[in-house]
């Protein structure tokens, strides 16, 4: 494990007083085994030990947790609420041990009980409550907020089934239900007393109240109860332990079905079913969003519960409603929670009786919005009929917000009705639809993109009119990832070397890794660096063998692309290159190419046929290549099934080369790119998302750059792109496509990949063919660089050394300073 306890972790007698020593841990694990699981050591299963240890660790968090909550309640400070439909928190036990600084103690305690800590940790089910980057980002931010001791709460949905488990059968992705709660979740504390009601459907009526004020009453057709399920989020070696509060839906028993559904018993039952299934399952779409009724209900459900909870906390603090925005700021993680604009207005107007202007002022000062995509098909919109039937009152409020907003636009730009139509919260061009990104922008005091390039494209394209109207509201906060999980926890070998070389402070201040630069050319240091990487590759090779049966050689160049499968991310560009390499090696067995092991991992949205076909293609290539004796010792292709946070722990530390090859202008930021960099992988990438900044930090000479720039992509598409021209100009590319089309990688069935090949030849929306030649040339430079181990190792060390900027601590400080006006309270 990375770090020995630092000064903030008590040792000796003090540790015993806090229960942080091995002896008291051992005692508690035994106690918990009996008292919580009714087991005794002789019959305890490994999972029983996992539960007993986790409960013992949770107990050690409780004191800090309660203290932290009390501190926030007492202090006159603003609390940051991170509203997100996804929190991909990953396994908790190892991380909590690391942050508490009691990993060694836990190891000793378990050993004394005859158990191996690593085996126990490996048993934890992954809470896969997110799809990919956006959900994992939310989890990294919670870790940094706690570590920086900033008052914060995460608010989201407690899905009973998280992201599906991916199995591979005959090369195809098969989705299996993720039953992560089946054996219980020792980290969660359910709070039946913290519960709120959320309205759906029905109708509204306006009336004048006792004081003669105009009030709207929403008579719902159905109500759902949201119950808080809390998970502790301890900071790294600090006393602060924040809360992740996820809402679980329950049916409201007392609700009288007969009142609103006279004669329509089945209709009424249907509505009840909605309430019971609201928090059942995570929608498995990364981008784009699928417009399902239940999904909108989920969004409104968690947003309403969260805002009601914030109002209750304000009351507990004894603060008047006027101070709401001084006490809370709510960050909207993409548009999924953007209904908060209308819901906060509703709560302030209808439930608290505020006037419009005052309610609007509070709402705007409270909310801030992060955009995570420019892809037009991923920008969330909701058709009016669906929206009205589910959320009649919020819809009225949206109309009124829009009316006032468009008046403002008209005043600024008299006669410019096309601008008014462009900016409206309602898209009237086809079926009328609510534009959630516009709603979020109008209702927020700050809007940000997630990497420098993305934020400028956001200002220039999708939100251009808004940036013109309110330039001061637009910001950039480049994403970051937590060095606790993605370096200290997942790469203990490297972490030890870092401790020794730059001191343990790097875990909480990643810029200290700069101290490695001085050792980049030191031959002895380089040897140690390589030995650590090699050991990590051996571990991954083991996992690959048990997951796929394929044996890979850790001496090969590990070339890895793990992320959701999407055409814009261009796993198929990588696949085309593999096919070309295979052809070259078949033709010229003497070629002096470095042995390579290509590793892919990632899930495809279940309804995304092309992405699923790309998985099939990679598996098809793997089957042929891995069974061809001529490729032995030269080429291996692996599709690692069910890529998730848990498997990521083994993958990032073992990478030599990180594939970040999206079409320029399409990947908002990427965060995997940062995790690879921290772990000493070199990047082959386009100038897209945060790659631009990664290259800036690493130095252009330590980054393999290729491909069209965002402006080239835009121009090419505007002027008319002809993929066939690129195929005609490049023999290798044509042969690769022909071989795929011939059925060579689909057991002779030439139909299988036809849709993929035809799509590329005719449309190639993401310009894979246009970038192919440059990509292949760049891969040749990678090959040459790999043949010089000292040069490669130097670049690897420099990449880690210069990854400091990509710590989520830096990102969270920026949110705190620029967007939340929020300071740590240590």
Which part of the chain contacts ligand CR6 (CB under 6 A), choosing from 27-35, 372-380, 725-733, 792-800?
372-380
Residue 373 engages ligand CR6 in binding (rule: CB under 6 A): yes
Task: Please state the closest distance from residue 566 (CB atom) to ligand CR6, in A.
Answer: 8
The answer to whether the CB of 648 falls within 8 A of the CB of 658 is no
Residue 686 engages ligand CR6 in binding (rule: CB under 6 A): no
How many residues bind ligand CR6, per CB under 6 A?
Answer: 18
Sole window of 131-139, 264-272, 460-468, 713-721 interacting with ligand CR6 (rule: CB under 6 A): 131-139
Bridge partner residues of 487 (DSSP): none
CB count in 10 Å sphere of residue 774: 14
Select from 372, 616, 634, 649 the one that contacts ligand CR6 (CB under 6 A).
Answer: 372
Q: Is position 44 an interface residue for ligand CR6 (rule: CB under 6 A)?
A: no
Q: Is 533 labeled as catalytic in the residue annotation? A: no
Q: Which residue has the tokens 């590329």?
A: 760
Q: Is 675 a catalytic residue?
A: yes
- DSSP conformation letters of 768-797: HHHHHHHHHHHHHHHHHHHT-HHHHHHHHH
Give yes or no for residue 668 binding ligand CR6 (CB under 6 A): yes
Q: Note whether 134 binds ligand CR6 by CB under 6 A.
A: yes
The single residue of 136, 165, 372, 537 carrying the catalytic annotation is 372
- Identify the bridge partners of residue 249 per DSSP, sorted by sequence position: 226
Q: Establish if 144 lies at the interface with ligand CR6 (CB under 6 A).
A: no
What does the per-residue mask of binding to ligand CR6 show for 799-818, with x meaning CB under 6 A?
--------------------
From 66-74, 312-320, 371-379, 701-709, give the range in contact with ligand CR6 by CB under 6 A: 371-379
The pattern of x and - marking residues 470 through 509 that bind ligand CR6 according to CB under 6 A reads ---------x------------------------------
Secondary structure class of 693 (helix, strand, coil): helix
| CA trace torsion 199, 205, 208, 211 (10° rounding) | -10
Q: Which is nearer to ligand CR6, 64 or 569 (CB)?
A: 569
* Cα separation, 280 vs 132, whole angstroms: 19
**Out of 343, 667, 764, 771, which residue is the one contacting ligand CR6 (CB under 6 A)?**
667
List Cα–Cα distances, 577 to 50, 172, 342, 403, 611, in angstroms. 44, 21, 49, 53, 18
Q: Say whether residue 689 binds ligand CR6 (CB under 6 A).
A: yes
Starting at the edge strand that comes first in sequence, how are the strands of the sheet with 222-234 ordered? 189-200, 222-234, 241-251, 152-157, 79-83, 328-333, 367-370, 446-449, 474-476
Tell me if 659 contacts ligand CR6 by CB under 6 A. Answer: no
Q: In sequence order, what are the beta bridge partners of 333?
A: 370
User: Is residue 133 at the binding interface for ligand CR6, with CB under 6 A as the rule?
Assistant: yes
Contact call for residue 526 and ligand CR6 (CB under 6 A): no
Q: How many CB atoms lie within 10 A of CB 728?
A: 11
Given the residues 237, 675, 794, 805, the one annotated as active site? 675
Residues written for the chain:
826
563 carries an active-site annotation: yes
In 190-215, which positions are buried (b, 16+ CB within 10 angstroms) versus exposed (e)? eeeebbbebbbbbeeeeeeeeeeeee
Please tell me whether residue 321 adopts helix, strand or coil conformation.
Answer: helix
**List of residues 6+ apart from 435 with CB closer than 8 A:** 379, 381, 424, 425, 426, 427
Minimal distance in Å, beta carbon 610 to ligand CR6?
17
Site string for ligand CR6, 252-291 (x = CB under 6 A): ----------------------------------xx----
Q: Is 372 a catalytic residue?
A: yes
Measured at the CA of 671, the angle between CA 667 and CA 674, to 5 degrees, comes to 120
Task: Out of 448, 669, 702, 807, point to the residue binding ligand CR6 (CB under 6 A).
Answer: 669
Q: Note if 272 is an active site residue.
A: no
Stretch that binds ligand CR6, among 17-25, 126-134, 590-598, 776-784 (CB under 6 A): 126-134
Measured at the CA of 210, the angle between CA 204 and CA 211, to 5 degrees, comes to 110
Please compute Rg for the chain using Cα positions. Answer: 27
Closest to ligand CR6 by CB, 85 or 737: 85
The answer to whether 564 is a known catalytic residue is yes
When binding is defined by CB under 6 A, the residue of 9, 88, 110, 137 that contacts ligand CR6 is 137
Site for ligand CR6 contains 334 (CB under 6 A): yes
Phi first, then psi: what are they for 129, rounded to 5°?
-85, 40
Q: Which two tokens stand for residue 184?
A: 């219980």
**Residue number with CB closer to ligand CR6 (286 or 559):** 286
Structure tokens that stand for 56 in this block: 């013992």
Stretch that binds ligand CR6, among 203-211, 406-414, 438-446, 665-673 (CB under 6 A): 665-673
Task: Please answer whether residues 225 and 197 qualify as being in contact, where contact means their C-beta atoms are separated by less than 8 angstroms.
Answer: yes
CB of 529 to ligand CR6, least distance (A): 28
Give me the catalytic one of 68, 363, 370, 671: 671
- Nearer to ligand CR6 by Cβ, of 132 and 392: the residue is 132
Looking at the annotation, which residues are catalytic?
A: 372, 563-564, 569, 671, 675
Which positions touch ligand CR6 (CB under 6 A)? 132-134, 137, 286-287, 334, 372-373, 378, 450, 479, 667-671, 689
């Amino acid at each position: 494990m990375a770090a020995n306890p630092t000064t903030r972790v008590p040792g000796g007698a003090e540790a015993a007083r806090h229960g942080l020593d091995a002896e008291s841990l051992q005692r508690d694990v035994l106690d918990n085994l009996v008292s919580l699981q009714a087991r005794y050591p002789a019959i305890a299963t490994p999972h029983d030990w996992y539960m007993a240890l986790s409960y013992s660790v949770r107990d050690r968090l409780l004191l800090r947790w309660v203290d932290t909550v009390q501190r926030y309640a007492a202090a006159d400070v603003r609390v940051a609420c991170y509203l997100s439909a996804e929190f991909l928190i990953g396994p908790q036990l190892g991380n909590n041990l690391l942050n508490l600084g009691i990993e060694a103690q836990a190891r000793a305690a378990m050993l004394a009980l005859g158990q191996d800590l690593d085996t126990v940790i490996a048993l934890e089910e992954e809470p896969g409550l997110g799809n990919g980057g956006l959900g994992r980002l939310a989890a990294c931010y919670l870790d940094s907020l706690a570590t920086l001791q900033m008052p914060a709460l995460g608010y989201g949905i407690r899905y009973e089934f998280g992201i599906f488990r991916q199995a591979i059968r005959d090369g195809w992705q098969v989705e299996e239900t993720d039953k992560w709660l089946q054996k219980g979740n020792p980290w969660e504390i359910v709070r039946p007393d913290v519960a709120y009601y959320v309205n759906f459907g029905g109708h509204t009526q306006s009336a004048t109240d006792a004081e003669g004020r105009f009030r709207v009453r929403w008579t719902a057709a159905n109500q759902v109860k949201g119950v808080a399920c809390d998970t502790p989020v301890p900071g790294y070696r600090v006393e602060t332990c924040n809360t992740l509060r996820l809402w679980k839906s329950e049916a409201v028993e007392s609700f009288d079905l007969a009142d609103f559904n006279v004669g329509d018993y089945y209709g009424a039952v249907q509505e009840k079913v909605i309430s019971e299934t609201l928090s059942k399952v995570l929608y498995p779409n990364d981008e784009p969003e699928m417009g399902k009724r239940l999904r909108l209900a989920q969004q409104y459900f968690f947003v309403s519960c969260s805002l009601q909870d914030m109002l209750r906390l304000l009351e507990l603090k004894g603060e008047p409603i006027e101070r709401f925005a001084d006490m809370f700021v709510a960050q909207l993680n993409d548009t999924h929670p953007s209904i908060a604009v209308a819901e906060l207005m509703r709560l302030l107007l209808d439930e608290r009786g505020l006037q419009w202007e005052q309610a609007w002022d509070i709402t705007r000062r409270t909310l801030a919005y992060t955009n995570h995509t420019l892809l037009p098909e991923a920008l969330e919109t909701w058709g009016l009929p669906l929206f009205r039937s589910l959320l009649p009152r919020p819809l009225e409020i949206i109309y009124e917000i829009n009316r006032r907003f468009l008046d403002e636009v008209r005043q600024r730009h008299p006669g410019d009705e096309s601008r008014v139509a462009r900016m409206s919260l309602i898209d009237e061009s086809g079926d009328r639809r609510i534009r959630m990104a516009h709603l979020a922008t109008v209702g927020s005091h700050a809007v940000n993109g997630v990497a420098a390039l993305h934020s400028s494209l956001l200002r220039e394209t999708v939100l251009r009119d808004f940036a013109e109207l309110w330039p001061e509201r637009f910001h950039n906060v480049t994403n970051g990832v937590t060095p606790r999980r993605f370096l200290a926890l997942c790469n203990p070998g490297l972490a030890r070397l870092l401790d020794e070389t730059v001191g343990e402070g790097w875990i909480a201040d990643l810029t200290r890794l700069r101290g490695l630069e001085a050792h980049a050319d030191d031959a002895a240091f380089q040897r140690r660096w390589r030995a650590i990487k090699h050991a990590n590759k051996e571990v991954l090779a083991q996992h690959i063998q048990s997951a796929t049966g394929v044996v890979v050689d850790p001496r090969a160049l590990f070339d890895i692309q793990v992320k959701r499968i999407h055409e814009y991310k261009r796993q198929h560009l990588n696949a085309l290159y593999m096919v070309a390499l295979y052809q070259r090696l078949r033709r010229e067995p003497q070629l002096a190419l470095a042995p390579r092991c290509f590793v892919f991992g990632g899930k495809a949205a279940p309804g995304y046929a092309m992405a699923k076909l790309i998985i099939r293609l990679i598996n098809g290539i793997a089957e042929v290549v891995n069974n061809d004796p001529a490729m032995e010792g030269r080429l291996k292709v692996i599709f690692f099934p069910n890529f998730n946070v848990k498997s990521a722990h083994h993958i990032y530390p073992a990478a030599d080369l990180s594939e970040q090859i999206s079409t320029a202008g399409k990947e908002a930021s990427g965060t995997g790119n940062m995790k690879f960099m921290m772990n000493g992988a070199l990047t082959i990438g386009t100038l897209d998302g945060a790659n631009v900044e990664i290259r800036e930090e690493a130095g252009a000479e330590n980054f393999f750059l290729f491909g069209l720039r965002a402006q080239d992509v835009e121009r090419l598409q505007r002027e008319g792109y002809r993929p066939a021209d690129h195929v005609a100009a490049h023999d290798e590319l044509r042969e690769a496509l022909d071989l795929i089309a011939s059925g060579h990688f689909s057991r002779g069935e030439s139909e299988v990949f036809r849709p993929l090949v035809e799509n590329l030849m005719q449309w190639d929306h993401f310009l894979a063919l246009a970038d192919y030649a440059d990509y292949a040339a760049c891969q040749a430079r990678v090959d040459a660089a790999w043949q010089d181990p000292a040069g490669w190792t130097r670049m690897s060390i420099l990449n880690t050394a210069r990854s400091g900027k990509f710590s989520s601590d830096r990102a969270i400080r920026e949110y705190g300073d620029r967007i939340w006006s929020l300071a740590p309270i240590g």
